[in-house]
């Protein structure tokens, strides 16, 4: 769970393939991630993130915009949080790195945080 607050830099560490698969939002333009948080935010709110994937030593930096909100009282006991769209990744670098890590997961039918 990430604690998001206005105008801060947020480090995100996703340390296993299952969590990355549940969090990744491939159908979003430029890609996106679901971030579990109890904080509430308006759509289009922007943050700056530092993302570390699995065992990579590199941190990926990006600006993200809230495009999805799952409230605390959601149906089917979905995790509360927000979906973040990668805003400044016009070359698709972050999306490509995530999809490389998920090469065996992208077409599986396991549930994700958003679908």
When mean pLDDT is compared across 5-9, 29-33, 41-45, 87-91, the lowest value belongs to 5-9
CA distances from 65 to 43, 58, 72, 84 (A): 8, 22, 20, 5
Element spanning 39, H or E: none
Q: Rounded distance, CA 62 to CA 51, Å?
A: 8
pTM (2 d.p.) = 0.79
Domains of the chain by start residue, with CATH: 9-101 (2.40.10.220)
**What SS3 class is residue 52?**
strand
Confidence band (pLDDT; 50, 70, 90) for 43? very high
Structure tokens at 59: 């941190």
Q: Which residues pair with 85 in a beta bridge?
A: 32, 65
């Amino acid at each position: 769970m990430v604690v998001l607050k206005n105008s801060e830099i947020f480090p995100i560490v996703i340390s296993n393939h299952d969590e990355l698969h549940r969090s990744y939002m491939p159908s979003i333009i430029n890609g996106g991630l679901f971030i579990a948080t109890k904080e509430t935010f308006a759509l289009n709110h922007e943050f700056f993130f530092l993302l570390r994937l699995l065992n990579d030593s590199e941190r990926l930096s990006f600006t993200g915009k809230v495009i999805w909100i799952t409230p605390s009282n959601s149906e089917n006991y979905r995790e509360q949080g927000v979906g973040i769209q990668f805003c400044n990744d016009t070359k698709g670098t972050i999306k490509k790195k995530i999809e490389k890590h998920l090469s065996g997961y992208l077409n599986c039918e396991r549930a994700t945080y958003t679908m």
